[in-house]
Amino acid sequence: MRTLLVAAVIATTPLPALNPQALQAAISDLDHPSATSAQLRVSGTAGAWYGTAGTADLTRPIRPDDRFRIGSVTKVFVATTALQLAAERRIDLNQTVQHYLPGVLPPSLEPVTVEQLLTHTSGIPFEVGMPDLSTPAKVLEHRYDRWGPGERARHIPDTKAKFTPGTQQEYRGINYVLAAMIIEQVTGHEYGREVERRILRPLHLTRTYVPGRHETAIRGAHVHGYLDVPGQGLVDVSDIDTSRSYGEGDMVSTTEDLGRFTEALFGGRLVPQRLLDKMFTLPDVSMVDGRPAAYAVGLQTFTLNGVTVWGKTGEQYGYNAGLFSTRDQQRRIAYSFTPTARDDAQQQMTLRIANAVTSAA
């Protein structure tokens, strides 16, 4: 793998004051995209704010402790756990996937390191023969399909890598499916048990959990997600089997828990500094489309209105979520909304939120 760029410097410039009207406006437009609810929590040394829009189940208001599916924000928990195991010398980030999971990757693939999984620089080709989930009706057809932990890996074709590992970056969920499998291989426990033992219990994140392999419903009070299905209208898809997203998009949480997790992680309470720096260090490669790399170990980054934040977005059917923070924790952001279509229109909400939390009042 090529030399990494210098880790991000912690900012010291004071951020602008929060604008409550702009924050509320960012989440209140539930027509662009079409959504049934939204909530946003801002915390940090530069101010705090919490607001909601819409309803949790088409009838009642959202409560702050309502759970929701966090999709790919799961990857931050998996990366944190993997780095803890690296600190304990139970995982070698420079060791190969083939070493930890012999026979799981097709023999045609070049050696891929654990760190290349975590930075999406593995070059692993797209899986083939997966169920078609391109329409809401197809999602409903397959909503209770159950996937074993290694089943997604069996859909990786026995072909050459898309690029030599470590030379380009392409965001892929399969990377974190494999990372979760490595966690299980070296600990002898389900990855969810390790996340609970190492992160959730110590931080008292009582509203966050990794679903068991046979769970489909969200535990306790939660925000419901819906899909707009032609001929049927809004269909509640809160109850769905997320085992296909095992290790890369299956967790459940709240905005408060996500904020507390971010505070502990960025504050160095979960990962030693030498390894925490990897979460804020971009690989010195380009994305496959030519853009600069945007993903470090577990976290992605963007700069808007002169403010750089690090974190992760996530999607599940009926849900969109995210956690972000400036490196110095002046501003932490946790949000969730429930779009009724899984398409690019979701970016309208995320961009409004991003603008509202980084703009001057």
pLDDT of 18-73, one tens digit each? Answer: 999 999 999 999 999 999 999 999 999 999 999 999 999 999 999 999 999 999 99
pLDDT band at 12 (very low <50, low <70, confident <90, very high): low
Average pLDDT over residues 259-267: 98
Q: Return the pLDDT at 251.
A: 98
pLDDT of 172-209, one tens digit each? Answer: 999 999 999 999 999 999 999 999 999 999 999 999 99
268: phi > 0 → left, psi -120 to 50 → alpha, else beta; which?
left
pLDDT band at 149 (very low <50, low <70, confident <90, very high): confident
128 occurs within a structural domain: yes
**In angstroms, rounded to a whole number, what is the distance separating the alpha carbons of residues 84 and 4?**
20
**In angstroms, rounded to a whole number, what is the distance separating the alpha carbons of residues 123 and 117?**
9
Q: Return the pLDDT at 9.
A: 43
6 occurs within a structural domain: no
Q: Cβ distance 91 to 85 under 8 Å?
A: yes
pLDDT band at 361 (very low <50, low <70, confident <90, very high): low
pLDDT band at 5 (very low <50, low <70, confident <90, very high): very low
**In angstroms, rounded to a whole number, what is the distance separating the alpha carbons of residues 279 and 7?**
8
Look up the domain containing 50 and give its range.
20-358
111 occurs within a structural domain: yes
193 occurs within a structural domain: yes
For the stretch 128-133, contacts whose Cβ atoms lie closer than 8 Å and that sit 24 or more positions apart, written own/partner, are: 128/155, 128/157, 129/155, 130/155
Taking 60 as the threshold, does the pLDDT of residue 6 lie above it?
A: no
8 occurs within a structural domain: no
Taking 90 as the threshold, does the pLDDT of residue 269 lie above it?
A: yes
12 occurs within a structural domain: no
> Which residues, listed in sequence order, are joined to residue 354 by a DSSP beta bridge?
none
Instruction: Name the average pLDDT for the chain.
Output: 95
**Nearest by Cα to 142 from 151, 128, 131:** 131
161 occurs within a structural domain: yes
Taking 60 as the threshold, does the pLDDT of residue 2 lie above it?
A: no
Residue percentage of the chain with pLDDT more than 90: 94
1 occurs within a structural domain: no
Give the CATH number, domain containing residue 298: 3.40.710.10
Q: What total of structural domains would you count in the chain? A: 1
Average pLDDT over residues 230-244: 97
